[in-house]
Amino acid sequence: MSIFGKKNPAEKAPPVKKSVLREWIDAIVFAVVVATLFRWFFVEPFTIPSPSMENSLLTGDYLFVSKLHYGARTPKTPLQIPLAANKIWGTEIPSFLDFIQLPQFRLPGFSEVKRGDAVVFNYPPEVKNPVDMRTYYIKRCVGLPGEEIAMINQQVLINGQPIPLPEKALTSYLVESKEELSPRILQGFGIPSYCYTLRATGEAIINTDSATIAEIKKAPYINAVTKQVYLKNSDPQGRFFGDVDGFTNVMLPNYDWTFDNFGPLRIPKKGETWPVDAPGLQFYEHVIRHYEGNEKVELKGGKLFVDGNEISSYTFKQDYYFMMGDNRHNSADSRFWGFVPADHILGKALFVWMSINPEPTEEQGRFRWNRMFSGVK
């Protein structure tokens, strides 16, 4: 104050103290912003919702997914609810608005996608949503860009050479028994309900690994165990590239391939140029249509038109990957809906930080303590 009772302009008014509510709001907003940025560029949590990766990853596993390995993607859809997936929690309401779409870039990473990596990615056939707002899937990378993949009686071949199964991979067996195979008996072998189907008395289709089957064979009431393999021209349940999200046999409409016997099939690679009359190029039309950023793609009379122009060859704009689940007969993967484009890849599964058993027993309770903070192989 001056001596005349007037306020001195140089003097500052005392700061207004925030209310408790305002302090809480500021703290929450700050935490959400930090968590969102951390989730976008560093690490994101992910939950295993299905048995497609058993026994490597179990239903109820909670993972951290590293975005630093392959390089984080910049957001393509800026108008979205922070920390939500593609739907508002507990509803079917989209958690985003897609009328603003930004160019998407990938920041430098310290690794590339390698064969055998457990990779989290956006589900490619969900073309109604922007790339970064498609449902998250997790599968194991089996085929890399530019490689030729085939499968003969469940044995995967890359460029004609066999590659080993994942250590804990599952497949299905027909088990015939002298007595009824009850859920209690199968649970005693560590087989959850979502990994078997009880048939007529004394029969069951079981998805499990070779070690568990060896134990089952020792049981005195077992008559026979037969590994299930879908041959070509077999039951349409084993059909390679099925009816998924509007893609009905999208890549191979006239082939008799199954998900145990198929190929050879070449995986597109960025920069590769294929002539339109190359064997099989025409069934890559949906790749060129949906994942390459072309405005209009048509296949008419065996001729391919891109943006209204007939083309004699096509150069792919990005890399593609062939992904498969470790639970080979209970996994919707690249055998059903095709390749995974590079821009759909989110990150690499790092480790399990929590695991909740959906079917707790007396021997194994609600929490799988032995899986907590275990690495993903």
d(C-alpha 314, C-alpha 306), whole Å:
9
Residue for token pair 């560590």: 190
Does the domain made of 171-227 have the CATH classification 3.30.70? yes
Identify the pLDDT of residue 9. Answer: 59
Question: Which neighbouring-strand residues pair with 162?
Answer: 157
Tell me if residue 139 is catalytic.
Answer: yes
Whole-number mean pLDDT of the chain?
A: 84
C-alpha 39/C-alpha 55 separation (Å) is 27
Instruction: In whole angstroms, give the CA distance from residue 182 to residue 162.
Output: 37
Q: Per CATH, which fold does 37-141+345-377 belong to?
A: Umud Fragment, subunit A (2.10.109)
Looking at residue 254, what is its pLDDT? Answer: 54
Q: Where exactly are the structural domains of the chain?
A: 37-141+345-377, 171-227
- Provide the pairing of β-strand 161-162 with 118-122: unpaired
Over residues 233-268, the pLDDT tens digits come to 655 455 555 555 544 444 454 567 788 888 888 999
Question: Active site residue: 52, 66, 95, 334, which one?
Answer: 52
Cβ–Cβ < 8 Å for 203, 326: no
Candidates 139, 172, 348, 355; catalytic one: 139
The predicted-structure confidence for 119-150, as pLDDT tens digits, reads as follows 999 999 898 899 999 999 999 999 999 999 99
| Active site annotation includes 172 | no
Q: What share of the chain is helix, strand, coil (3-state, %, to 5)?
A: 20, 30, 50
Rounded Cα–Cα distance for residues 291 and 360 (Å) = 42
* H or E element at residue 32: helix 20-41
Q: How many residues does the chain have?
A: 377
Q: How far apart are CA 86 and CA 49, in angstroms?
A: 15
Does residue 111 contact residue 69 with C-beta atoms inside 8 Å?
A: yes
